[in-house]
Amino acid sequence: DIMDGVHRNLVVGPSTEIIAGNGRILTAGAIDCHVHLICPQIMEEALGGGITTIIAGGTGPAEGSKATTVTPGSWHLARMLEALDSWPLNIALL
């Protein structure tokens, strides 16, 4: 099958990068711009749902994170960055 919009007149120039996709499935990634970081399972769910980027806040499993998407202070930001470092997602903390 050929995707809509792909046709013989499609311009492929000298700067077009060709990536071998044999045996793979390519899907678009999504951005979730409102994430409460309340538990590690959120990251697993995001990856499973095709999310590639999250914009989030919170302090992890704490009562205060349930009502905010802001990470309070430099100490909490540093701890959240450490906790999120191993996840294969683009992450912006608020």
**According to the model, what pLDDT value does residue 33 have?**
92
Q: Is the pLDDT of residue 68 over 70?
A: no
Closest C-alpha to 62, from 80, 49, 86: 80
Domain ranges of the chain: 30-93
CB atoms under 10 Å from CB of 46, counted, come to 20
The reported pLDDT for the residue numbered 67 is 64
pLDDT at 31: 94
Confidence of residue 46 (pLDDT cuts 50, 70, 90): very high
Q: What is the mean pLDDT of the chain?
A: 84
The per-residue pLDDT for 57 is 83
The strand pairing partners of 90, in sequence order, are 53
> What's the confidence (pLDDT) of residue 65?
60
